[in-house]
Amino acid sequence: MNMKTAIYPGSFDPITNGHIDIIKRSRRLFDEICISVIHNPSKQSLFTMEERINIIQSVFVADSGVTVEGFEGLLVDFAKKKNTFNIIRGLRAVSDFDYEFQMALTNRKLEFRMNTVFFMTDEKYSYLSSSLVKELAVYGADINEFVPEEVACILNKKLDTAGGINK
């Protein structure tokens, strides 16, 4: 069978319900999605790459069409290694567009076979981001509407031990 595959790259620090919405929508089009977690040594993240991968794996444990891997360096190199030429990205609002357009065209310039497929998030997540969730959690707000229960738990525990955030 000719499997339709794609990668969904991002920081996922941590994964939110907005990301999950995008993954579920894209699963209707693609047989297999590799959630690709970036390791960017020059950008501080709250969770290590391994922690971010473990969190996502626990969220998608029931879906064998979703895999999770870390990557470092250029996204197109990772995609080529996976033999996939479809990149998934989510769009929340017009404000996302400039950056996403630039990234999509850059990736296609680097590798002409590369296509970026955009999914519009559910409007109820249109303002949501990992940074916002972390900020709310720092100030003790209820984040259960924005991330799965297990992610809220891990995030609150992490903040207790970290004593701060890197948004």
Backbone angles phi, psi at 94, to 5 degrees: -55, -30
Residue 78: count of CB within 10 angstroms of its CB:
19
Residue whose C-alpha is closest to residue 151's, from 165, 164, 137, 163: 137
Q: Of 56 and 75, which has the nearer Cβ to ligand PNS?
A: 75
Closest CA to 162 of 13, 24, 30: 13
| Residue 9 binds ligand PNS (CB under 6 A) | yes
Active-site residue flag, 157: no
- Cβ–Cβ < 8 Å for 45, 14: no
Stretch that binds ligand PNS, among 62-70, 103-111, 144-152, 154-162 (CB under 6 A): 103-111
Q: Can you tell me which of 4, 48, 74, 144 binds ligand PNS, judged by CB under 6 A?
A: 74
Tell me: does residue 38 bind ligand PNS (CB under 6 A). yes
- Using CB under 6 A as the binding rule, whether residue 45 contacts ligand PNS is answered as no
Binding site for ligand PNS (CB under 6 A): 9-11, 38, 74-75, 103, 106-107
